[in-house]
Amino acid sequence: MKLANLAPFILGLVIMSLCGCTTYNPVALQQKAIGQEGSYYHLQPQVYIGDHLKYGLKDGSGGEMNVAKIEPNAIIADTGEIIPFTQISFLERQDISKGKTAALVGGGAVATTAIVIVAGLTILAAGITASVA
């Protein structure tokens, strides 16, 4: 089998693996009072503008969004949708998974080593065949 025939397969494997380097981690919502007049929500871990979130609402609906703005009592998506903290039943932030990334790097190293060995054996076999003939 020629190495060129393996290239599309390897490229597809790498692309599929890269998609798996993220994971969703829960974000805790904690309501805190501001004097007697109001309150705000503390998010742990912090959520920043540009973060990708997955959320569920108390009415059973939910979805995903990219954060455009964070206000004391709501998150505003880049689409303009306003999600009040009082309506959120769960909130998860997309993060890069260290474990999945390490597995991808390790798997890539093993795959590269295997390809180099197979290519070397193929060249060696071709040289032996040419010298015998």
Instruction: Please give the pLDDT value at position 66.
Output: 94
pLDDT tens column, 36-82:
878 888 889 999 999 999 999 999 999 999 999 999 889 999 999 99
Torsion of CA 27, 30, 31, 34, to 10 degrees: -110
pLDDT tens column, 13-33:
666 555 557 788 899 998 888
Q: What is the pTM of this model?
A: 0.57
